[in-house]
Amino acid sequence: MSQHDNSLEALAKPVQLLEDVPQSDSSGLAAKDSQFWLVLGALLVSVFLAQLESYSVSTALPTIVTELHSNQFVWVATAYGLASTALLPLSGGIAEIFGRRPIVLASLVLFALGSALGGAAQSMNMLIAARTIQGSGAGGIFTLSQIILSDMVTLKERGTYSGLFGLTWALGGGIGPLVGGALAQPSRWRWLFYLNIPIAGLAFLLVLLFLRLPTPVGTLKEKMARIDWIGNFIIIGATCACVIGLTWGGVVYPWKSAQVLIPICLGFAGLIMFFLFESLWCQTPLVPWNLLSNRTSLSGYIQISLGAFINISILYYMPVYYQACKDTSPTASGVDLFGLSFSTAPFSIFAGLSVRATKRYRPQLWFAWCCMLLGLGLLTTVDENTAQAKSIGYQVIIGIGVGIVFSGTYFPVLAPLPVTSNAYALSFFVFVRTLAQVWAVTIEGAVLQNELQKRTPLTLFQGTQSAQSTDIAYSIIPLIPQLPPLTKAVVRQAFAVSLVMLWKILIVVAGIGLLSSLLMRGLPLHSQKDEKWALQERQSAGGREDGEDVEADRE
């Protein structure tokens, strides 16, 4: 058996926790040269673009749908999320087989190509196809940016840089709805896509010139044989089925219909089958069992999924409160979300810096969950007459917790694992975070619609949407300003009370997050990198140029 086969076999087996392995006591950050900062800048710009696109297009959808003369608006957002989510596990695996740089470059090309096609779309079908291409590139960008960062810095150093990625993530999510609103005009919406192209091109150029990582050896045939084709087929199919069922539920078809229940059931069965296959039969698994076989990593995965669930729920449904209860415009309601977005960003950085300074991650995460519980508890006191300043202030408290969780959960995930598991661990990390967001929007949306049906006058449904549709909230909101005063008061109260039910569900989610955080062990942070993927200088004495075989280091 070759060295390479031995390494794969070791990766697939449960690994000795690193609390039992001596750790280097080296401290302090290694000096970073201009090459490092240029690569980091390219990764941050790429993540910002992909995150911005996730949130900006949805704001401009009414304008886009009108101009393209189609009502297939659901698939514009779904195609992007579906492609980016389904391909996440694959991107980590092929980055390990083909190398980091080719995959991140391919992801940037796909993102730019999808942007160009989206801007030029003359029909809704063309736009949906463009968003699918764009989403597949975005999934690779999200995963590879984290993997490459882990190649360039040790876990002990990672705190600062995780904070920068958290800041970028928060800014993209916060600014996205404003950009979409500003460009939500006929023909102008195309610039939502076109503006991505030169920026993605700059990121591509920086990665091409300065990201000089080794390329694994082997022929194309040998590398293709190492891909977990069965596992990829199962996880992509299961993810697609779940997302399609959740997206159609109550919007395209009733929740109890076969068109919704069958995809969701197949998706659940597929996810279970995927984990069984990966743990029992697969020789080169996408998700090695050691990622989930220790309680610290498992806790980290649970926490990031629950944190993402809470974050996306607030981002989607707080604007509903402002538009329905405060008569704000879509753009103004995006501004009112700044309490969440711009508290998340600085505390993302704070979490990373504090982990770097203290070499501990548990206290920060415990504090984060307590903040979210407090903020969500206060949010349940908000009614239709509450001053906007209070609701924005409560967002700040929630945002503190979200920022820390987004930046801090990398550490319990990676601390128990060898650095050779980084690519697989981080691709699965991004996958569970993204999939949790899909579930959150759908579950919270269904609860909101059910609550509104109980409390809203049935006469409002006439001429808008069926009472079985989960689009009731968005059908009623435009009508509220023109309602008679007494009816308007009833509807505003109905929205406020219905949204409180959502916040109560999020309190339960945050409580589970706090309990899951108690599973973590306080493990030392790695002070070493995976030398197989060490960043190479462009040219150095005694060094080698990028692209030479990794095996040369091993012989």
Measured in degrees and rounded to the nearest 5, phi and psi for residue 210 equal -120, -20
The whole-number pLDDT of residue 218 equals 78
The whole-number pLDDT of residue 424 equals 84
pLDDT digits (tens, 9 = 90+) for 79-117: 787 787 877 877 878 888 888 888 999 999 999 999 999
pLDDT over threshold 50, residue 456? yes
First to last CA, the chain: 16
pLDDT over threshold 90, residue 312? no
The secondary structure of residue 534, as a DSSP letter, is P
The whole-number pLDDT of residue 248 equals 75
CA gap 454, 82 in Å, rounded = 32
Name the strand (E) or helix (H) holding 110: helix 100-119
Question: Span 176-195, mean pLDDT?
Answer: 81
Environment class of 163 (CB within 10 Å of its CB; exposed 0-12, middle 13-18, buried 19+) = buried
Q: Considering the chain, what is the average pLDDT of its residues?
A: 80
Contacts (Cβ under 8 Å, ≥6 apart) of 292: 298, 301
Contact 177, 55 (CB under 8 A): yes
The whole-number pLDDT of residue 533 equals 66
pLDDT class for 471, splitting at 50, 70, 90?
low
Contact 159, 352 (CB under 8 A): yes
Neighbours of 14 (CB within 10 A): 13
Task: Using DSSP, state whether 253 is helix, strand or coil.
Answer: strand
The whole-number pLDDT of residue 459 equals 61
Q: Poorest-confidence range of 6-15, 467-476, 477-486?
A: 6-15
The whole-number pLDDT of residue 548 equals 42
Residue type, 446: A
C-alpha distances out from residue 194 to 57, 63, 202, 251, Å: 12, 17, 14, 30
Q: Poorest-confidence range of 364-373, 396-405, 461-470, 504-513?
A: 461-470
The whole-number pLDDT of residue 416 equals 92
C-alpha distances out from residue 235 to 270, 279, 293, 401, Å: 7, 14, 20, 31
Which among 157, 158, 524, 162 is positioned nearest to 362, based on CA atoms?
A: 524
Written as six digits, the tokens of 344 are 């998340």
C-alpha distances out from residue 145 to 38, 109, 168, 361, 382, Å: 13, 15, 12, 22, 39
Q: Which residue has the tokens 């349940």?
A: 380
pLDDT over threshold 90, residue 165? no
Please give the full DSSP string across 42-98, using - where no structure is assigned.
Answer: HHHHHHHHHHHHHHHHHHHHHHHHHHHT---HHHHHHHHHHHHHHTHHHHHHHHHHH
The whole-number pLDDT of residue 71 equals 63
pLDDT class for 1, splitting at 50, 70, 90?
very low
Q: Is 360 left (phi over 0), alpha (psi -120 to 50) or beta?
A: beta
pLDDT over threshold 90, residue 302? yes
pLDDT class for 301, splitting at 50, 70, 90?
very high
pTM, two decimal places: 0.80
The whole-number pLDDT of residue 460 equals 58
The whole-number pLDDT of residue 161 equals 82
Q: Poorest-confidence range of 165-174, 404-413, 483-492?
A: 165-174
pLDDT class for 240, splitting at 50, 70, 90?
confident
CA gap 404, 52 in Å, rounded = 21
Q: Poorest-confidence range of 1-15, 186-200, 341-355?
A: 1-15
Question: Span 33-51, mean pLDDT?
Answer: 86
What would you report as the CA-atom Rg of the chain, rounded to the nearest whole angstrom? 23
pLDDT over threshold 70, residue 28? no
Environment class of 230 (CB within 10 Å of its CB; exposed 0-12, middle 13-18, buried 19+) = middle
pLDDT digits (tens, 9 = 90+) for 254-275: 778 888 889 889 988 998 998 8
CA gap 335, 414 in Å, rounded = 36
Q: Poorest-confidence range of 16-20, 60-64, 448-452?
A: 16-20
Q: What percent of the chain has pLDDT over 70?
A: 84
The secondary structure of residue 518, as a DSSP letter, is T
pLDDT class for 59, splitting at 50, 70, 90?
low
C-alpha distances out from residue 57 to 75, 179, 184, 438, 513, Å: 12, 9, 9, 16, 31
The whole-number pLDDT of residue 420 equals 82
The whole-number pLDDT of residue 237 equals 87
Residue bearing the bigger pLDDT, 193 or 56: 193
pLDDT over threshold 60, residue 323? yes
Q: Poorest-confidence range of 14-18, 62-66, 241-245, 453-457?
A: 14-18
Contact 168, 47 (CB under 8 A): yes
Written as six digits, the tokens of 484 are 């008679």
The whole-number pLDDT of residue 345 equals 80
The whole-number pLDDT of residue 441 equals 76
pLDDT over threshold 50, residue 13? no
Measured in degrees and rounded to the nearest 5, phi and psi for residue 30 equal -65, 145
Q: Is 86 left (phi over 0), alpha (psi -120 to 50) or beta?
A: alpha
pLDDT class for 236, splitting at 50, 70, 90?
confident
Kindly list the structural domains of the chain, giving each domain's residue range(s) and its CATH number in brackets, ordered by start. 33-227 (1.20.1250.20), 229-283 (no CATH), 296-533 (1.20.1250.20)
CA gap 309, 304 in Å, rounded = 8
Q: Which of 13-22, 63-72, 187-196 has the highest mean pLDDT?
A: 187-196
CA gap 276, 181 in Å, rounded = 45
